[in-house]
Amino acid sequence: MRDPGPTFEHVDDITCEFWARGQLRRRQVASHVIENRSGWATIAFAFQDLRDGCYEPVRYMLVRWRMVAGRWHRDTGINLRPDTELRAHDVFASWDPRELAAAADVEAAADDAA
């Protein structure tokens, strides 16, 4: 049976972060719920993957989530209606990758200092 991955109670708790062996391998630098209705949510993420000890440039993804038995589960298939695609484009266009990466670096430095 395939591991369903992380599930979340509230749509606002959903993240794309990924930890392996106690290390943050994918850090989320921004997210935006584009659509949330009828037990389905579409979320845009800006993120950076860790490779060779350094975070790569900011990348973007859209993820479709489904509510099952009171928990949000990542859905493997994604079909976007044209109006959803336009809203996603607006979100991505509003994100400056340099600003997102700099903000994530500041937050990581603060976490390290704590």
More confident residue, 26 or 57: 26
In this predicted structure, the answer to whether residue 85 has a pLDDT above a threshold of 80 is no
Q: Mean pLDDT in the chain?
A: 86
Indicate the class that CATH gives domain 7-106. Answer: alpha beta
Domain boundaries of the chain, sorted by first residue: 7-106
Mean pLDDT to the nearest integer, 59-76: 90
The pTM for the full model equals: 0.72
Lowest mean pLDDT among 12-21, 32-41, 63-72, 93-102: 93-102
pLDDT at 4: 62
Q: What secondary structure does DSSP assign to 42-88, as a single string?
A: EEEEEEEEEETTEEPPPEEEEEEEEEETTEEEE-S-----HHHHHHH
Listed residue (100, 96, 110, 102) closest to 28, CA to CA: 100
